[in-house]
């Protein structure tokens, strides 16, 4: 067996049931989940057996599952996260490790994270890329848990990206870069070293602009506060998946983050994902995503 796929997606069955009932503003139309104006094709996204087939096809031990980013819905509050997490519990098996959903921008998020961690079900958390301002209470809990925390880009509001599928081709790497920059410049890797952040899609633009970030610190550009770690050292506290479709970029990831921190991730079942995984990069995920079973206080 070759290890684990760190980056796969399923729609939780509880979300599908709610959509069929017309709850939470959801609906099902002609094989699509309709959510906040987006249409997600159900097919494999609603079929855990198809993901298990991928695991067998790739000779893997298992896959790490998070919800598609359209389901983050950070304006929907705790009730939405409860619905999503109940469905993720139902998906969890020895071969499917699930990452919990947090109501990231809700004041209850630290307590929710602490509560979920004690269940022994979730292998960590998956978060999107909204503004991270004011999230120290959340980071404090995830730090105490030493939690694996997958960062997956959400959609960009830039209307220039509406053409040529740029919302995905360029918007996703940009959004991940903004999230990584927000963490680096807020000194989150230095202040909360226990969090095991993993950036999807090779960290987006992060590796390409890391030197520019350091130059901004060195020249004391406006708005930049002192941080405890140089950018290069901060980035070596992140993990990234290897979904970049370019061998030259894989070499850049290894030199930026460390070869041992580049993990196999397919983005199954989306078309922009990978057709196959590297065995050499799929073993570490098993250790990182073992189900949390630790009680911590939500300060």
pLDDT at 281: 83
pLDDT at 11: 98
Torsion of CA 182, 184, 190, 195, to 10 degrees: 60
Q: How many CB atoms lie within 10 A of CB 226?
A: 7
Render each residue's pLDDT in the chain as its tens digit; 299 residues.
Answer: 479 999 999 999 999 999 999 999 999 999 999 999 889 999 999 999 999 999 999 999 999 999 999 999 999 999 999 999 999 999 999 999 999 999 999 999 999 999 999 999 999 999 999 999 999 999 999 999 999 999 999 988 899 999 999 999 999 999 999 999 999 999 999 999 999 999 999 999 999 999 999 999 999 999 999 999 999 999 999 999 999 999 999 999 999 999 999 999 999 999 999 998 888 788 788 889 999 987 787 76
Distance CA 238, CA 261 (A): 7
Assigned superfamily of 4-9+64-289: Metal-dependent hydrolases (3.20.20.140)
State the Cα angle at 249 between 245 and 255, rounded to 5°: 140
Q: How many CB atoms lie within 10 A of CB 207?
A: 22
Distance CA 80, CA 206 (A): 31
DSSP three-state, residue 115: helix
Contacts of 116 (CB under 8 A, 6+ apart): 85, 100, 122, 125, 292
Query: CA 20, 119, 7, 189 torsion: positive or negative?
Result: positive
pLDDT at 283: 79
Alpha helices by DSSP H, the chain: 13-20, 48-57, 77-91, 109-117, 136-145, 166-169, 171-185, 188-191, 206-218, 231-235, 247-257, 284-288
Distance CA 164, CA 179 (A): 24
pLDDT at 299: 61
Distance CA 24, CA 7 (A): 26
Q: Which two tokens stand for residue 127?
A: 């978060």
């Amino acid at each position: 067996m070759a290890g684990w796929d760190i980056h796969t997606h399923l729609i939780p069955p509880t979300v599908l049931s709610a959509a069929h009932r017309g709850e939470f503003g959801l609906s099902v139309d002609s094989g699509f989940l309709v959510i906040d104006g987006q249409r997600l094709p159900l097919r494999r996204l609603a079929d855990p057996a198809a993901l298990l087939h991928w695991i067998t096809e790739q000779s893997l031990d298992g896959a790490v599952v998070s919800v598609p980013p359209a389901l983050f819905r950070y304006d929907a509050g705790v009730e939405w996260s409860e619905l999503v997490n109940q469905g993720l519990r139902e998906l969890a098996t020895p071969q499917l490790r699930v990452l919990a959903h947090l109501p990231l921008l809700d004041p209850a998020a630290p307590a929710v994270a602490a509560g979920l961690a004690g269940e022994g079900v979730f292998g960590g958390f998956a978060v999107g890329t909204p503004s991270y301002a004011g999230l120290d209470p959340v980071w404090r809990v995830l730090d105490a848990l030493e939690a694996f925390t997958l960062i997956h880009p959400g959609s960009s509001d830039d209307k220039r990206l509406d053409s040529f599928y740029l919302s995905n081709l360029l918007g996703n790497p940009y959004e991940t870069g903004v999230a990584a920059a927000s963490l680096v410049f807020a000194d989150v890797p230095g202040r909360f070293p226990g969090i095991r952040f993993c950036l999807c899609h090779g960290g987006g633009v992060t590796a390409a602009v890391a030197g520019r970030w350091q130059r901004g610190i060195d020249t004391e550009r406006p708005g930049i506060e002192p941080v405890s770690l140089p950018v290069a050292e901060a980035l070596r506290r992140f993990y990234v998946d290897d979904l970049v479709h370019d061998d030259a970029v894989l070499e850049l990831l290894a030199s930026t983050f460390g070869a041992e921190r580049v993990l196999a991730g397919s983005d199954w079942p989306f078309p922009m994902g990978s057709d196959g995984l590297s065995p050499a990069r799929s073993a570490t995920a098993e250790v990182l995503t073992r189900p949390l079973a630790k009680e911590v206080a939500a300060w």
